[in-house]
Structure 1
Amino acid sequence: MNEFGRWAVGSVFALALAGMPAPLLAASGQKQEWNLDRQDLDGALRAIGRSSRREIIFRPEAVKGRQAPPLNGTYTALEAVETVLRGTRLTAMERDGTILIRRRFSAVSDDALTSGENIVVTGSRIRGAPSTSPVTTITRNEAQQLGHTDLGQVIRDLPQNFAGGQNPTITAGGQGGFTNVSGSSALNLRGLGPDASLTLINGHRVAFDAISQGIDISAIPLAAIERLDVVADGASAVYGSDAVAGVANVVLRRSVDGVETSARLGAATDGGAVTQQYSIVGGSSWRAGGFMIAADYQDSTEISARQRSYTSNVAPDTTVIPAQEQISLVMAGHQSITESIGFEIDAQYMRRSTSRCLIGVIATSCAAQGSIVKSTADGWSVSPALKGHLPFGWDVRLSGTYSRSDTNVVTRVFSAGTEIVRALPNYSNELKSIELGAEGALFTLPGGEARLAVGLGFRSNNLTVDSRRIAAGVESVTEAVSENRKVGFAYGELFLPLISPGNAVPFVDQLHLIGALRYEDHHDIDRVATPKIGMVYSPIRGLEFKANWGRSFKAPNLYQTAMLRLRTH
C-alpha cells in the first residue's frame, strides 16, 4: 500500500466521472473561476475535485457535519481547498498532483495523523488554534540524528533551558540547594528553577522529583516519544502556577506497528563513562485503536578525578560524574468504545540507582576520609482518560492521574577509615488529579470558527521527608516533614479567527486573537486569576508576527511551605 492508500476511502476521483474521457490533471498552478454556494464540506471538496479534475483525498469522518463557506473568486485547486477548509482543524497539502487533507499540525508525521490522534498544539487547549508564544518542537528522529540518547540531553541542548541546574552532570546546586540526590534531569527554562517550569507527559502532570518540585524528564525513554514541545514563555493562564517560566509537553507514541530495537555502546577516550543502552519498543494498531510499549535500560560507569587532567588538584577517587543505572518502561494506548466515545491510557515506571564518592580533603579514598553516597529513585504514574464527541462538533474529556516518586539515599561518612555517620534521607512525592474539559465551536467569524475551551479540575500533591541519622549505633530523626497541597482550578480559552487566507485583505493574510483565563485556589495559600491575551498577525503568507500579554503566578514549593510552617510554630 502506498503512502495514501489508507486514505482512499475518502478519495475524490475526477477521472471517474460518467461520460467523460480521462483528461490530464489540471496543472498545479492553473487558476480558474469558482462559484460555489455554502454547502457541506464533503460536497464542496467533491465539487472542487470534479471541476479541477484533481484527486482530493480525505477521511470522511474528518469532514462529516462540517459546513464550507461560499467559494467565489479565482483560485488554483489547492487554494480553493484551503479556502473551504478555513476555520477547521484540517489543512491541505499537495503531493505529486494529489491534494491530501489532514489534521493541522505541521510537526507531526503522516503516520501520527492517520492514527486518529487528536492533535493539540502545546500552549493552547483549543484544537487547531495556533500558540501565540513560540513553540520549539523536537521530534524523536531529530533528537536521534543529533546524537541524543535521552530527553535529559535534549533539554540541555535547548538554548532556552538552563543546563547547569538539576542534571546528572552537576553534583551540587540542584534539589533546592542540595546535591542532585536522584540523578534526575529537570527542565529549567530561563534559569527560573525546575519548580517554575512545568513538564507534562501527554498533556498531564506527574509526581514531583525529590524536594525541588521538578519533574524528571529523563524517566521517559527517547524511543517512546513522538515529539517534545517546549514553550519558553509564561503559561500560567493555560496550565497553572508552576508554568511561570514555560511548559514542555512530552508527546508519547500512541501506537506502533511491529517492533523496533536499538543498542548503544560508548566510552570516553580519557577513561570512565563506559555506557551501554538497550531499548525496545513495540505495539500494534487496528481500526479502532492501538498501543505502544517501550522499555529502555542504561548503565554508565563513573568518571573519577584521576581520569581527568583538570581535576588533578582534588583527591583521585572523587567522583566527577556519578555512575548510574536506569530502567524505564512506558505504555500508551487508545481504543474507541463507540463512534463517539473513546478511552486512552498512559503509564510509566522508572527505577534509577546512582553512586558517587565525595572527598572534602586530599585523601587516599572515600572509605578513608570522605563520603559514599548511593541513591535509588522509583517513580511511576498511570493516567486514564475518557473522551467523547458531542453534537455540534464539541469534544469532552475526563482524565485522571495517580503518580508517585520515591527517592531513598544512603550516605556513609568515613573518618580515618571508620564509618562514623550514616545519613538516611528519604523523599516521597504523590500526585492525585482529576480534570474535566470541553472544546468546540461557538459561531462562525469571517476567518473561520470561533472556538472555546473550558474546564475544571482538582489536584493534590503530597511531600514526605523522613531523614534519619545513625551515629555510634544510635538512630535519630534529623528531619520529618509532611506537606500536602490541594488545588482547585477552572479555566477558559477563546479563539477568534478574524481573518484567514480565504478572506484575506491587502496586508492582512491572517489575524487571529486568543484569550485565556485561569482561576486557581491553592488551599491555605491564596486564590488567584491569571489572564493572557495574544495575537497572531500575518501580513503575507509565510511571514507571521506573534504578540501576547499575560500574568503569571508562582506558588512556593512544598518544601518551602513546610520549612515556613516549622519556623512559625
Structure 2
Amino acid sequence: MKKGITLIASSVSFALLGGANLANANESEVERIEVTGSHIKRSDLEGPSPVQTISAGDLAATGSTDLIGALQKLPVAGAGTFSTQGNSSDDTANGGSSVALRGLGASSTLVLINGRRVAVSPFAKDIETSFVDLNTIPVSSVKRIDVLKDGASATYGSDAVAGVINIILRDDIDGFEVAGKISDTADGGAEEENFTLLWGSSTDKGHHNFSLDYFKRGDVFYADRDYASTADQRFRGGNNALSSSGFPGSIEVVRSQLTDEQWDALPVTRVEDDGTKVRQTIFADVWGNDKCPENMIIGDICRYDYAPHMTLIPSTERISFNYNGVQEIMDGVEGFAEFSAQHTSTFIQGAASPSFTELTMAGDNPNHPLAALPDHFLHGVDISMRRRTVDIGNRKKDVDSEYYRAVMGMRGEFKEWDWEFAYSAIRSSAVEKGFDGFPNKLRAQAAIDSGEWNPFEPSQNSQAVLDKIETTTTRYGASTMQSFDATISGELFEFGDGYVAAAFGLEHRYEKIEDNPDNQYLNNEIFGTEATQANGDRDNTALFAEFNVPATENLELQFALRYEDYSDFGNTTDPKVAFRWTPIDEVVVRGSWGTAFRAPSLVQLHLGKTDESPSVIDRERCKITADPLDCEPFEYTAEVAGNKNLQPEESTNYNLGVIWQASDNFSIGIDYWNYDQDNLIKKIGAQELVDCCGDNPNLVIRNPSTGSTPGRILLINDTFVNIGGRKTDGIDIDLEYKLETQGMGEFKFGYNVTYVMSFDEELVETDANGNSVSVVKDENGEYQHPDLRWNARVDWALDDWIANVSVNYINSYNDLADSSGNKFEIDSWTTIDTSVTYVGYEKLTVTVGASNLTNEEAPFAPSESMGVDNKTHSILGRQAYLKFAYKF
C-alpha cells in the first residue's frame, strides 16, 4: 500500500511541475460545485444540511488575526471551545486552539482543509482532548469557512459527531498583494503584528497561489487585569483560592509518622461527639528569620498568590507558508497540490512550582525549624511541607512547534463521471522545554537530607545550592497522518424530472501520536507541573456511497452510507438520510438523520500516568471541620491515566428546518437539532470523584481518619470512563436582510442565534449498597453551558467607505456549587466589534477597527481561581487595530 501511495504521489508531483499556470474552471464546471456535506456536485448551494458560510470578509470584520478569534464567537460554538487563553505552565496544549460545535467537545468536531482531514495536535488539551490546532492555518490563506451544523459521519468519517468545519483555502489570487496589521489592547498586553505576502497567477490552464505570513503576539499576565490579578477573590465576593503551598511554606505532620507522645502533644482543634480529639496537623512557618507574611496566614496555613506570576495568554511568534494550486495535465485531467509549513515559538510562564507533602524533613535534621526550641511540641518531629520553590524562580517554558502538510492529487472526467484521488501527508511536532523554575524532587530531597538546602530559611541558601536542585525539562510530541482517498461521482440514470446522482469512494489513513516527557517526569521527579505521556497508532479504512434522488420535482432525497474499519476498534457502518423539499419557490424544508461512531482517541487509550494539580473543595470534611482548607478550592495532586478498556461512543442525530426567502432581500431560517450520545468518553474529574467517591480508597487516597472525620486528601486517582450518555437539543435561527437606499448606501443585516433547550448527561454511579444506578444531570444553563448565544451584525457600504458593527451575546449561567451547594449566577456578556474601511485609494485598502469596543470586563465567576471563566469569556478587553492591503 505504501509503495502504491508513493508512486501516485510522485506522478502527481511530476505532472504539476510540468505546468506553469493554474486552471480556471470552465463554464460547465462552474454550474456544478461540491458543497460541504456532500460528495455529489450540485447546481445550488442550499442542500439538505444546514451550512453556515463565513467569508474572508466576514473573518476580516471580526478583527481577529487568527481563526479562533472569529470562530469562538459563532453561536454554534459551545463548551469545549478554547483559545490560547489560560495558558500557564500547567497547561498541556500551550498555544493551541480549537472549536467544539454544540458543546460536544473539540474531539467530536471534524476539521477539514479543502474537504480533507488534518492531523491532531501532538499535545492534548487538558490532558484528555485531542484536537486540530486552528492556529496552524493563517487567516490570510483562507477563502471561506463552511460550518456544517449537523452530523456528517456518513460523508466524512464516523467521528464527525457534532459537525464539520471545512476551511477552504484561497485560489483566487492573481498578481501580488501585501497586507499588514498592528493592534494593541486598552489594558495592556497581547500587542500584535501581522504581515502577509500573497502572490498568484491564473490562466485558462491553471492557477497557483502562494502566501507567506508572519504573526507575533505579546503575552498577557493575569496581573495585567486588575480584577483577575489575585487568586484571593473575596474582594469581589468570590473564593480565597490562594495556594495552600506557600513561601516559605507550612509544616505538615502525619499520624503514622509520629509517636503517641508526639501526637498527644499536638493542639486539639475540637472534640467529636464520640470523644475523639481532632488535632491540628498543619502549621504556617513562623519561626526563624524567614517567616510566612502575616497577611498570607489564613486558617493556620501559609498561602501564596500565584495569579500575578501566571500568563493568561502566552507570547507567540509564527511564520507560515502556504501553496494551493491546480494545473491542467491533459484535456479533462488536472493535477492539484497543497503545501503548508509553519514554525511557531511560544513562551509560557507560571508561578513557582508547588509541593504538597512531596518533600520531607527528619526530626533530627539540623535545619529543622524547631531545632532550636526543645520545648516546642514539634521539636524532633518528622515533618513534610507545603511549599513553593520561589527561591529558584517562576516556571518558564518554551514550546517550538513545526507543522507540515502536503496534499497531491489528480481529478478529471470520464464519460460524464467526475473522479478524484489524492495522497495526504501531515506532521505536527513540538518540543517543550522548561528552562527555569523547575525543581528535581530527588535532588531537592537529597539537599534537604544533607543539610545543604534549608527550605525554611530561603535567604540563607547560596545560589550554588539552588542550582543543584533546579533542573531543565523536555517534552517531545509528534502527530502524523498519512492518507489516500478516491471518489467518483456522476449521474446513474434518469428518474422523474431529473437524474439519480451518486458518489462512491474509499479512504485509507494511518495515524500516530507520540507525547514523551523526559525521564524526570516519567520517574516522578518533577512536582507541581503537568505532563503527559501517550504513544499509539491506528489504521482506518473506509468505503462510502452517497445517492441524490429527485423523488419529485420539489423533493430531493439524499442517502449516504459509510463503512469504516479501525485496526484497534473493529468496524462500524453509519448511514445518513436527508431531504430537501420546496413546496413553493420561496420555502425550503430540509431535514437529516444519521448515526456516528467515535473511537477513543489515541490519548485516551494510551496516556501514561501523569500528575495534574486541580483545585477541589473537600465537601465531606467541610461539613465537619468548617476549615477554609476544606471549604474553599485548594490544589491537590491528581494522577490521570489512559484506559485501554474504553468502548467507542455511539450517537444519533437529526435536524429539521425551514428556510423562507420572503423576498429578494429578506430570508429567515429555523432549524431544530438533536443529538443523542451513548458510552460517552469523559475524564471523571477530581471534584466529581471527591464528591461521589471521596470515601473510596482506590479513587481518593487520604490520611487516616480521626474519629468520623476523613483524613486530608493525599492523591486523587482519575481516568477516562464511558460515563453513560448525553442528550442535547436546540434551535438555530438565521436571518438576513438587505436594504438599498438612495444616497445613504447599502445596508446588510444579519442575526444568528443558537438556543439550547436541553443538555443532559447520564452518569452511572454506585449507590450506598454497591449497586450501579443511572443519574441524569441537566447541564443546560450550568457551568460553561450557557443556553443562549447570538450574534447580530450590520454591514454598510457607500462609495469608497465600508463599515460594520457586530454584537456578540452570551447568556448568563450558573457557576459551580460552593461548599454549601449554592450556585452563583454568572452574568450575561455582550461585546461589540466594529471596523471602518476606506477603498478610495488606488490598489490600497485601509481599515481601522476594534474588538470589544466598549472594553467589557469578563463576568465574575467565583469558582475560578482568578474569578474568570476564560473558556467561555475573554479577558482580553478592547483590542484596537489598523490594517492595510495593497495590490500590485
- Return the TM-score normalized by structure 1: 0.72
Aligned residue for 2:394, secondary structure, equals strand
* Alignment-derived partner of residue 227 in structure 1: 144
- The answer on 1:384 being equivalent to 2:408 is yes
C-alpha spacing 1:326/1:163, structure 2 compared with 1 (3 Å): farther
Q: More displaced, 304-313 or 221-230?
A: 304-313
Q: How does 1:378-417 map to 2 (within 5 A)?
A: 378-391=402-415, 393-411=416-434, 412-414=436-438
CA distance in 1, matches of 2:519, 2:586: 63
Q: How does 1:414-453 map to 2 (within 5 A)?
A: 414=438, 420-453=470-503
Q: How does 1:47-66 map to 2 (within 5 A)?
A: 62-63=27-28
Q: How does 1:124-523 map to 2 (within 5 A)?
A: 124-128=38-42, 130-162=46-78, 165-171=81-87, 179-210=91-122, 211=124, 212-313=129-230, 314=305, 315-359=307-351, 368-391=392-415, 393-411=416-434, 412-414=436-438, 420-470=470-520, 481-500=534-553, 510-523=554-567
CA distance in 2, matches of 1:430, 1:371: 30
- The answer on 1:534 being equivalent to 2:578 is yes
User: 2:352–2:389: 8 Å Cα contact kept in structure 1?
Assistant: no
User: 1:532–1:551: 8 Å Cα contact kept in structure 2?
Assistant: yes
C-alpha spacing 1:474/1:481, structure 2 compared with 1 (3 Å): closer
**2:36 is matched with which residue: 98, 122, 139?**
122
Output one character per residue of 1:98-153: Cα deviation in whole Å (capped at 9) or x when no partner.
xxxx525xxxxxxxxxxxxxx31101111017532210100111211232222121
Aligned residue for 1:188, secondary structure, equals coil
1:447 to partner: Cα distance: 3.6
Aligned residue for 1:524, secondary structure, equals coil
The sequence identity of aligned pairs, in percent, is 28
1:563 to partner: Cα distance: 3.7
CA distance in 2, matches of 1:359, 1:323: 16
Cα RMSD between the aligned structures? Answer: 2.9
* Alignment-derived partner of residue 70 in structure 1: none
Unaligned runs of 5+ in 2: 1-23, 231-304, 355-386, 440-457, 459-465, 609-640, 646-888
Output one character per residue of 1:307-327: Cα deviation in whole Å (capped at 9) or x when no partner.
210123144332121111111
1:408 to partner: Cα distance: 1.2
Aligned residue for 2:188, secondary structure, equals coil
Aligned residue for 1:199, secondary structure, equals strand
1:253 to partner: Cα distance: 1.6
CA distance in 2, matches of 1:430, 1:60: 33
Q: Which amino acid aligns with 1:551?
A: T
Q: Which amino acid aligns with 2:96?
A: S
Q: Which amino acid aligns with 1:195?
A: S
User: 2:605–2:644: 8 Å Cα contact kept in structure 1?
Assistant: no
1:359 to partner: Cα distance: 1.4
Q: More displaced, 216-225 or 434-443?
A: 216-225
CA distance in 2, matches of 1:153, 1:281: 22
Q: Which amino acid aligns with 2:99?
A: L
C-alpha spacing 1:324/1:61, structure 2 compared with 1 (3 Å): closer
CA distance in 2, matches of 1:307, 1:566: 37
C-alpha spacing 1:200/1:494, structure 2 compared with 1 (3 Å): same
Aligned residue for 1:552, secondary structure, equals strand
Aligned residue for 2:592, secondary structure, equals strand
1:239 to partner: Cα distance: 0.7
1:549 to partner: Cα distance: 1.1
1:62 to partner: Cα distance: 4.2
Q: How does 1:51-90 map to 2 (within 5 A)?
A: 62-63=27-28
Aligned residue for 2:71, secondary structure, equals helix
C-alpha spacing 1:458/1:147, structure 2 compared with 1 (3 Å): same
CA distance in 2, matches of 1:228, 1:567: 35
Q: How does 1:17-36 map to 2 (within 5 A)?
A: none
CA distance in 1, matches of 2:341, 2:217: 20
Aligned residue for 1:432, secondary structure, equals strand
User: 2:87–2:94: 8 Å Cα contact kept in structure 1?
Assistant: no
**1:546 is matched with which residue: 587, 590, 612?**
590
1:271 to partner: Cα distance: 1.3
1:365 to partner: Cα distance: 11
* Alignment-derived partner of residue 791 in structure 2: none
CA distance in 2, matches of 1:526, 1:60: 41
User: 1:531–1:550: 8 Å Cα contact kept in structure 2?
Assistant: yes
C-alpha spacing 1:122/1:438, structure 2 compared with 1 (3 Å): same
Q: Which amino acid aligns with 2:218?
A: T
1:259 to partner: Cα distance: 1.3
CA distance in 1, matches of 2:25, 2:420: 23
C-alpha spacing 1:360/1:133, structure 2 compared with 1 (3 Å): farther
- Which has more radius of gyration? 2
Unaligned runs of 5+ in 1: 1-58, 64-88, 90-101, 105-118, 501-509
* Alignment-derived partner of residue 74 in structure 1: none
Number of aligned residues: 444
CA distance in 2, matches of 1:196, 1:345: 28
Output one character per residue of 1:322-362: Cα deviation in whole Å (capped at 9) or x when no partner.
11111111100001111111100011111111112111689
CA distance in 2, matches of 1:146, 1:282: 24
Q: More displaced, 528-537 or 213-222?
A: 213-222
User: 1:273–1:301: 8 Å Cα contact kept in structure 2?
Assistant: yes
1:370 to partner: Cα distance: 3.4
- Return the TM-score normalized by structure 2: 0.47
* Alignment-derived partner of residue 83 in structure 1: none
1:499 to partner: Cα distance: 3.3
C-alpha spacing 1:246/1:346, structure 2 compared with 1 (3 Å): same
User: 1:234–1:243: 8 Å Cα contact kept in structure 2?
Assistant: yes
1:464 to partner: Cα distance: 1.4
1:304 to partner: Cα distance: 1.6
CA distance in 2, matches of 1:453, 1:152: 33
Output one character per residue of 1:163-220: Cα deviation in whole Å (capped at 9) or x when no partner.
65432113379xxxx7253412212111222221111111111221123431122212
1:566 to partner: Cα distance: 7.4
Aligned residue for 1:242, secondary structure, equals coil
User: 2:352–2:390: 8 Å Cα contact kept in structure 1?
Assistant: no
CA distance in 2, matches of 1:422, 1:304: 23
Q: Which amino acid aligns with 1:483?
A: G
C-alpha spacing 1:447/1:172, structure 2 compared with 1 (3 Å): farther
Output one character per residue of 1:274-295: Cα deviation in whole Å (capped at 9) or x when no partner.
1111112111011110100011
Q: Which amino acid aligns with 1:371?
A: R
Q: More displaced, 327-336 or 404-413?
A: 404-413
User: 1:424–1:468: 8 Å Cα contact kept in structure 2?
Assistant: yes
User: 1:138–1:229: 8 Å Cα contact kept in structure 2?
Assistant: yes
